[in-house]
Structure 1
Amino acid sequence: MKLNSNPNFATSISFYERFVEDIVAGDKSITIRDSADINFPLNKAIDAVIFQTDDVFARLYISSITPLSFDEINAYHAQQENMTIVELKQVIREIYPDQNQFYLIEFTLVEPH
């Protein structure tokens, strides 16, 4: 599958509310997603919304989307997620209990709302 080959890119990316503060503070600069949630335009800013409410809380610039296996998740990823490696792997297992192949989405905060 070629990443970003769909011309109908998502116009927003959703996050659980517990991550909003870290994103707005600039402490969280990546997200790890499964293949169903990677259709974002590269090198463009999109809205970041709260998953539970769809409220926009920021604009994020999506800089890269790369494949990543569960076993490849390391301290660097945890630091970028503003968590420990144990916390990060636990959160990923809570959200994706049976998956091992993911995608690393790197982003920069453009502006909080």
Structure 2
Amino acid sequence: MSSNKITFFQRFEKDILSGAKTITLRDASESHYKAGQGVSVSTYETDRWFCDVMIDSVECIKFDELNSIHAEQENMTLPELREVITEIYGEIETLWMISFHLVRT
């Protein structure tokens, strides 16, 4: 994957565009993003561009350390967040929290 692009499942598009989703939790394969980097955002399913974001920070976090603040930043409840991460990555201990803000739609 290009470091100037990131994909999200289509179901998260509205939350990103509304500013309700301001972080994404990824595995180590996507830990290469850097604060201050502009990134083009596309849907995972169809690779359709829908916005650009600016990366604010990239931090390592343990799955067990996820809390209600992280869930709020993902626009979910904590149980929903844990379930989604497990659906996508299976049993995972270490995640990369990528904080971002919308810059262009």
Q: Same fold (TM over 0.5)?
A: yes
Aligned twin of 2:83:
90
Structure 1 gap ranges (5+):
1-8
Shift of 1:101: 0.6
Contact 1:78 1:84 in 2 (8 A): yes
Deviating runs (4+, > 3 A) in structure 1? none
Q: Which amino acid in the other structure matches residue 91 of structure 1?
A: V
Identity rate, percent: 38
Matched, 1:79 2:72: yes
RMSD after superposition: 1.0
Shift of 1:61: 0.3
Contact 1:30 1:81 in 2 (8 A): yes
How many residues are aligned here? 104
Structure number with bigger Rg:
1
Q: Structure 1 length normalisation: TM-score?
A: 0.88
Counterparts in 2 of 1:24-63, with a 5 A limit?
24-63=17-56
Render the CA deviation track for 1:58-96: whole Å, top value 9, x for unaligned. Answer: 000001100000001000000000000010000001001
Q: Structure 2 length normalisation: TM-score?
A: 0.94
Structure 2 gap ranges (5+):
none
